[in-house]
Amino acid sequence: MSNETPTSVRRVLAPEYGGPDVLRVVEEDVVHPGPGQVMIAVRAAGVNPADYKGFSGQRSADPDALPIRPGYEIAGTVLALGADTELASGGGAVGDPVIAFRVSGGYASVLTVPAKDVFAKPDALDFPAAANLLLAGTTAADMLHAVDAQDGETLLVHGASGAVGVSLLQQARRRGMRVIGTAAERNFDMVRRFGGEPVAYGAGLEQRVRDAAPDGVDAAFDCVGTDEAVDVSLALVPKERVVTIAAFQRSQQDGIRVVGGGMPESAAFRDRVRADLIALAASGHLVVPVARTYPLDRGADALTFLADGHPGGKLALLP
Ligand SMILES: NC(=O)c1ccc[n+]([C@@H]2O[C@H](COP(=O)([O-])OP(=O)(O)OC[C@H]3O[C@@H](n4cnc5c(N)ncnc54)[C@H](OP(=O)(O)O)[C@@H]3O)[C@@H](O)[C@H]2O)c1
């Protein structure tokens, strides 16, 4: 245990359901790590749309689940390890830079988590980028797996400039796939930077994709959730090869694949690919563009900005 171990934690939580303005910063006692646990000084907490969806009440408004502690991923340094405990990536000592995913309550200055979810941080990523690598990265890997994407295929990615989209672009390009990605025009360069071919979403999208890929598209990935994304995908690709992470109602109605971190098969797959994605980032082949950072007590501002739907990169909270 470090001599600098704090006695209290600053944590962001939602005591009730609602918009970002329900978030409060509270002081709590630190939780000392037992066997199989690691205490981490959080240097950056990754910010994801799932964070605001969790306390918005859209998914569930169960009063027994309150307060909600947002934050599924963090990067920081080890403050203490439980007895006989190693990180998921092996070894581990006080002061080591690490990534933890999937955790709960990541919007905090200190977090104690299961060691099986803690990995050495690759030097190639700074703390804000590392804190945002794995939720989007494992989701993109899960989507590729769900439709059995094959090397050399042509893919359509809706929302290619978003966090999941940018990770998908990079993972697909590594495997020699061609990716046509939808984005707002101001983000076309971002799509190109990660190896995609940008097309604008909006009226006429189907024809623009047909023009870009006259031989057809093999699989479609919806990282947006709009009817347009689902309709255009279904017009171009058999439904078995369309996957969404956001159009849950349409997935039931139209029989397209859906993946989510709360689904057991997805969760198990995502856990298995964490180390591979970290290795990819360590070798410089998986980059996480960070648009903005905020102090921990401005979590509400970060989530308000993210909820607008066009962040242009990831956001991180810095305790
Ligand atoms: N099921 C899961 O496991 C899972 C996991 C992660 C995320 N998600 C969900 O997937 C979605 C994307 O997450 P993210 O982290 O990638 O979000 P993000 O970084 O905020 O990206 C949002 C993307 O949506 C695009 N967009 C916004 N409005 C659009 C429209 N009308 N038509 C087409 N594209 C539009 C934006 O493009 P421009 O900025 O270029 O306009 C941007 O690329 C969210 O709904 C999130 O909750 C689900």
Per-residue model confidence as pLDDT tens digits over 293-313: 999 999 999 999 999 999 999
Q: Are residues 177 and 293 in the same domain?
A: no
Nearest ligand 1 atom to alpha carbon 311? 20
pLDDT class of 1 with cuts at 50, 70, 90? low
Q: Are residues 126 and 39 in the same domain?
A: yes
Is the pLDDT confidence value at 3 over 70?
no
Backbone angles phi, psi at 75, to 5 degrees: -135, 145
CATH of the domain at 67: 3.90.180.10
HSE (side-chain half, CA atoms, 13 Å) at 16? 4
Is the beta carbon of 77 within 6 A of some atom in ligand 1? Answer: no
Q: Is residue 283 part of a domain?
A: no
Q: Are residues 125 and 147 in the same domain?
A: no
HSE (side-chain half, CA atoms, 13 Å) at 87? 24
Q: Is residue 153 part of a domain?
A: yes
Token digits for 47? 């910010």
- Please report the sign of the dihedral spanned by the C-alpha atoms of residue 136, residue 138, residue 141, residue 145: negative
Q: Are residues 116 and 28 in the same domain?
A: yes
Calculate mean pLDDT across residues 27-38: 96
- Taking the centre of ligand 1 as the mean of its atom positions, its distance from the CA of residue 247, in whole angstroms, is 11
Number of structural domains the chain divides into: 2
Q: Is residue 312 part of a domain?
A: yes
Is the beta carbon of 182 within 6 A of some atom in ligand 1? Answer: yes
Residue with the smallest CA separation from ligand 1 atom 43 is 162
- The pLDDT, as a whole number, for residue 6 is 87
Beta-strand ranges (E) seen in 30-177 are 37-47, 74-81, 97-100, 110-114, 118-120, 154-158
Is the beta carbon of 289 within 6 A of some atom in ligand 1? Answer: no
pLDDT class of 18 with cuts at 50, 70, 90? very high
Q: Is residue 36 part of a domain?
A: yes
- The pLDDT, as a whole number, for residue 5 is 80
CATH of the domain at 226: 3.40.50.720
Instruction: Report the chain's C-alpha Rg in angstroms.
Output: 20
Q: Are residues 121 and 152 in the same domain?
A: no
Is the beta carbon of 46 within 6 A of some atom in ligand 1? Answer: no
CA-to-CA distance for 27 and 107, rounded, in angstroms? 12
Query: Contact at 8 Å (CB) between 32 and 39?
Result: yes
CA-to-CA distance for 20 and 304, rounded, in angstroms? 6
- Tens-place pLDDT, residues 232-258: 999 999 999 999 999 999 999 999 999
Is the pLDDT confidence value at 133 over 90?
yes
Share of the chain above pLDDT 90, in %: 96
User: Of 220, 243, 258, which residue constitutes the final position of a domain?
Assistant: 258
Is the pLDDT confidence value at 2 over 60?
no
Share of the chain above pLDDT 70, in %: 99
Q: Are residues 249 and 292 in the same domain?
A: no
Looking at every residue in the chain, the average pLDDT score rounds to 96
Name residue, tokens 């966090």.
163
> By residue range, what is the domain housing residue 14?
8-133+288-318
- The pLDDT, as a whole number, for residue 61 is 86
Q: Are residues 121 and 145 in the same domain?
A: no
Is the beta carbon of 187 within 6 A of some atom in ligand 1? Answer: yes
Beta-strand ranges (E) seen in 223-264 are 242-244, 257-258
Residue with the smallest CA separation from ligand 1 atom 46 is 49
- The pLDDT, as a whole number, for residue 60 is 82
- Taking the centre of ligand 1 as the mean of its atom positions, its distance from the CA of residue 105, in whole angstroms, is 22
Is the beta carbon of 205 within 6 A of some atom in ligand 1? Answer: no
Q: Is residue 277 part of a domain?
A: no
Residue of 224, 230, 250 with the most ligand 1 atoms within 8 Å of its CB, for mutation:
224
Q: Are residues 23 and 70 in the same domain?
A: yes
CA-to-CA distance for 45 and 73, rounded, in angstroms? 6
Calculate mean pLDDT across residues 286-293: 98
Q: Are residues 240 and 307 in the same domain?
A: no
Q: Are residues 88 and 192 in the same domain?
A: no
User: Of 239, 258, 277, which residue constitutes the final position of a domain?
Assistant: 258
